[in-house]
Structure 1
């Protein structure tokens, strides 16, 4: 193996905010493709290694430090990467997984072979965790999955909600004098790698104006709620806010408007450019043949109640608006893009080979929590449910999990690997286990309740 720019350091880190950071040995370097890597091995190493896509990037990020320090303090070693500087134009989770395997080999060369290897990661790192557990199980013993996306799934879910907004908000956008409804683009966005008649900033500004205008009228608020319900998005996406009372349609509408403004700059869905660029700019999400009336029927009860109350208050015909969405011109997915995303490591099929535990925040603005529900159904279809557990967390933000939540699922996963049986993983049991860890942070595991969708609308498994 060739490893470039290898640097070795060892020593003690300074005090963290309230407690001393664990002592560790550190190794750092750069892989041949330019990806930086980082390894930390605590002095009390327990023989277990956590591989993490973002360890080198996030080890000093405030929202992640406590999670890392708590696991290091309990004897877990870390080996991970920084996201490649060209990732926006060359995103490939398959390559990320192969790079994680390379840094695992480096770890073995510099230290020794771990007794247990767990893939651990959030967001794109969560996808790498699931895909490793399905497609590359010979290198790991299990996967801890935090706020994972799956590319075709997430872009399809985002497409549905944005498509509904595009269809329903154009009229009020034009009436307010902002410009033609055609300003409200949602796919094929311009970026540094591709041209376009309008800049991305101009498209973002148009969308923010459309959302602000919608938020000023009962009709617009009802239609925003319908778009969120069809997309199976959480209405609660704004950090620092409280989860509204689902029985209070007005409070729910206020939160939906605030959440729409929170994501309004992420036109077409978070990281759409990254996903489109990965397959040479070709469209991975489409809605040809989709029945949005059926999709609405799958909405979480909390959202369906809100939509129906707001439509009644606004004096609008809900079924007529759904029919408008169904009648709108559709968007075709590219076979080229779908072929790209069908490869090992780039999607998930539910065919787990090693144990995996997955958690997601209800108020995640970047990745809808409902993707986790879809995966839970998929593993049951594949007959791998005994290898899988999942839990919902009552919180906002993206990857803003507490040390209590993170360490609890890692320890739960270790028990499953060592004993062959899962411990109790109900929200009550996970909260109790997390509190017993005394991490200095609080766990927030909850039941799905009225947030559970009847079925996730957008699972995608490549044809064999």
Structure 2
């Protein structure tokens, strides 16, 4: 059985290699210790008269050796006044260079929130508020940063193993938490799903915010981008921008044009796509064909922050929203972070559409977007079925068997078999990860008879993982819902109106925008992939 820890350089039998690892532990105090919002308060006065100190540790196996001389002779740090309650902080680097951070409030409620992206996001404007609120509410927080080589070596299974090391450190110093919740957004959301399915022995429940699944997301993006590549080249060429071959979507080069995070690109490729979208927008035919890509890819029409949510019954509003969404998507041709995903399995392709019938995919599309496409095609005097056939006739993309084997491993994909309760939220207009991945997972979980372990909720917002996409109120409400499920053994209501009432009651000062799925459903998510049943005709 594959296990992430057994495939890293850490080595079987060692939680840490034989190496001194410097860490710092600091106590921060603030005059305000009121714990706002949710949280079951336990471990009151856990730290009591704990003073300030810095310690150095060398960790071998499960044994922790404290450098007492250092602790006794090093002057305590100055008190730092913050908005948060008093808390103790430990930070450092794991043996492979991955940063980690632990914060535990003086009045700890016994629950630990573990997050893949805690190191970076706790200090980011637009993302830090949710962590501050959780700390103020009595939760301990721990997690990692993303490794600087992630763009070339992305491996969520490995990331899970690093989170396990952080949990080892937490337990060695502070004891075993009463409850551990895996929490994360985007790649952290995928980790939360994978932990719930394959590595749940130390975790009680998972909160998933706008989570991706690597093969699923790359195939969903491939479908829409393949349609755009098949149908928009003529507008790019006619406008005098260059040959259609400029409009690449797969096998992208690691030439430095991708941003260090792996998200977004600069240079000639995204610029070429922006020109193609602008050219296509000038004609009824181009506008109709861009809309078709949204149906085939099962993308939301609304993904640009500077636009209003379109009325699903207003074709003009939908088309305008889709155009602006494409301009935003142009920063990541072929799909968000495609270079990173393609680099992961030694540069081998993980997405495919050979033998895909896009006529069938069209039938599974969102009804409102299909209606818009059909009206736009009629107004343009185009044959919709002829265009779909043209896409089908284009040379398809083949996945590498090596890549499929790589992505089949536990931790790197999901199969709809959670072992612990999971609540999953998604922004309707998330431009990096279509919300339809959440719908596909919900269906897969139901097929496996696991619906009692999953609840999902949609949020009326655009953006990705920021406060504007998923607010502190919304993410904290998800934790509260999960806590109630873990306490009572059954879910409270997750209807949109009830989630909004709960979120508004938490005193975060941030919006609650949960919404029913309504007209945003699809017939069936086209790209659910389960390794045991994988083939290139699914």
* Interval of TM-score (by shorter of Structure 1 and Structure 2): over 0.9
Of the structure 1 ranges 33-42 and 301-310, higher mean CA displacement relative to structure 2 is found in 301-310
**Which residue of 2 is the match for residue 41 of structure 1?**
104
**Which residue of 2 is the match for residue 12 of structure 1?**
29
Question: How much has 1:14 moved relative to structure 2?
Answer: 10
Residue 360 in structure 1 maps to residue 426 in structure 2: yes
1:233-289: CA deviations, max 9, x gaps? 111111143201122211111111111010102010000011010001110000011
**Which residue of 1 is the match for residue 116 of structure 2?**
53
Conservation of the 8 A alpha-carbon contact between 2:312 and 2:318? yes
Aligned length: 457
From the CA coordinates, give the structure whose radius of gyration is larger.
2
Distance in 2, Cα, partners of 1:379 & 1:7: 42
Distance in 1, Cα, partners of 2:314 & 2:329: 23
Distance in 2, Cα, partners of 1:58 & 1:414: 23
Question: How much has 1:200 moved relative to structure 2?
Answer: 7.3
1:404-447: CA deviations, max 9, x gaps? 10010101001111111001111111111111112111111111
Bigger proportion of residues as helix = 1
**Which residue of 2 is the match for residue 285 of structure 1?**
351
Question: How much has 1:302 moved relative to structure 2?
Answer: 2.0
Of the structure 1 ranges 60-69 and 135-144, higher mean CA displacement relative to structure 2 is found in 60-69
One of 84, 89, 106 as aligned partner of 1:21: 84
User: SS of the residue aligned with 2:492?
Assistant: coil
Conservation of the 8 A alpha-carbon contact between 2:304 and 2:325? yes
Residue 143 in structure 1 maps to residue 191 in structure 2: no
Distance in 1, Cα, partners of 2:283 & 2:334: 23
Of the structure 1 ranges 291-300 and 152-161, higher mean CA displacement relative to structure 2 is found in 291-300
Output the aligned Cα RMSD.
1.7
Question: How much has 1:312 moved relative to structure 2?
Answer: 1.7
Question: How much has 1:10 moved relative to structure 2?
Answer: 1.4
Question: How much has 1:218 moved relative to structure 2?
Answer: 1.3
Distance in 1, Cα, partners of 2:521 & 2:30: 43
Structure-to-structure mapping, 1:387-426, within 5 angstroms: 387-399=453-465, 400-426=469-495
Distance in 2, Cα, partners of 1:5 & 1:324: 60
Residue 305 in structure 1 maps to residue 371 in structure 2: yes
Question: How much has 1:5 moved relative to structure 2?
Answer: 2.5
Distance in 2, Cα, partners of 1:22 & 1:73: 6
Question: How much has 1:193 moved relative to structure 2?
Answer: 8.6
Conservation of the 8 A alpha-carbon contact between 2:212 and 2:437? yes
1:168-225: CA deviations, max 9, x gaps? 001111111112212111100011499xxxx972222221111111112111111111
Distance in 1, Cα, partners of 2:266 & 2:307: 29
Residue 339 in structure 1 maps to residue 394 in structure 2: no
**Which residue of 2 is the match for residue 294 of structure 1?**
360
Distance in 1, Cα, partners of 2:506 & 2:367: 35
Structure-to-structure mapping, 1:55-454, within 5 angstroms: 55-192=118-255, 201-399=267-465, 400-454=469-523
Question: How much has 1:23 moved relative to structure 2?
Answer: 2.4
Q: Which runs of 5+ in 1 are unaligned?
A: none
Distance in 2, Cα, partners of 1:427 & 1:290: 35
Distance in 2, Cα, partners of 1:13 & 1:449: 46
Of the structure 1 ranges 314-323 and 280-289, higher mean CA displacement relative to structure 2 is found in 314-323
Q: Which runs of 5+ in 2 are unaligned?
A: 1-14, 33-81, 258-264, 534-538
Question: How much has 1:89 moved relative to structure 2?
Answer: 0.3
The TM-score normalised by the length of structure 1 is 0.96
Distance in 2, Cα, partners of 1:130 & 1:116: 17
User: SS of the residue aligned with 1:117?
Assistant: strand
The TM-score normalised by the length of structure 2 is 0.83
1:51-87: CA deviations, max 9, x gaps? 0000001001122111111111111111011100000
1:276-322: CA deviations, max 9, x gaps? 10001110000011110111111112211211121122221111111
